[in-house]
Amino acid sequence: MQQLEYYRPKTLEDTLTFLEASGEETQILAGGTDVMVDMREGKIKKKYLLDVSRLSELKGIFLCDEGLCVGAGVTISEIHSSEVLTRYAPALQKCARKFASQQIRNVATIGGNVAHCSPCGDTIPPLAIHGAKAVLLSRKGRRDVPVEAIASGPYACSLPANELIVRFVLEPEPDLTFADFIKIGRRKALAIARISLAAMARQAEDGRIEYLRVSLGSCTPTPWRVKEVEDFLIGRKLTGQLLWEAGKILAQKTIEITGRRPSAVYKEPVVQGLLVKMLLPLVRK
Tens digits of residue pLDDT in 253-272: 999 888 777 677 778 899 99
Whole-number pLDDT of residue 285: 67
Backbone φ, ψ for residue 84 (5° rounding): -65, -45
Domain count along the chain: 1
- Tell me the whole-structure pTM to 2 decimals: 0.94
Share of the chain residues as helix, strand and coil, in percent rounded to the nearest 5: 40, 25, 35
Residue 204 maps to a domain:
yes
Whole-number pLDDT of residue 189: 63
Residue 209 maps to a domain:
yes
Rounded-to-integer distance, Cα 185 and Cα 227, Å:
25
Rounded-to-integer distance, Cα 239 and Cα 241, Å:
5
Q: Which residues contact 204 (CB under 8 A, 6 or more apart)?
A: 210
Q: How far is CA 9 from CA 12, 111, 159, 254, 268, in A?
A: 7, 17, 21, 42, 47
Instruction: Kindly report the average pLDDT of the chain as a whole number.
Output: 93
**Domain residue limits at 216:** 178-282
- Bridge partners, 135 (sequence order): 144, 167
User: Which helix (DSSP H) or strand (DSSP E) does residue 5 occupy?
Assistant: strand 5-7
In the chain, what's the furthest Cα-to-Cα distance? 63
CATH number of domain containing 185: 3.30.390.50
**From its phi and psi, is residue 28 left (phi > 0), alpha (psi between -120 and 50) or beta?**
beta
Rounded-to-integer distance, Cα 105 and Cα 33, Å:
9
Q: Residue 253's CB: how many other CB atoms inside 10 A?
A: 18
Residue 98 maps to a domain:
no
Q: Which residue has the higher pLDDT, 238 or 285?
A: 238
Residue 61 maps to a domain:
no
Residue 196 maps to a domain:
yes
Residue 203 maps to a domain:
yes
How does pLDDT run across 144-193, given as a tens digit for each residue? 999 999 999 999 999 999 999 999 999 999 999 999 999 998 776 677 88
Residue 185 maps to a domain:
yes
Whole-number pLDDT of residue 95: 95
Residue 77 maps to a domain:
no
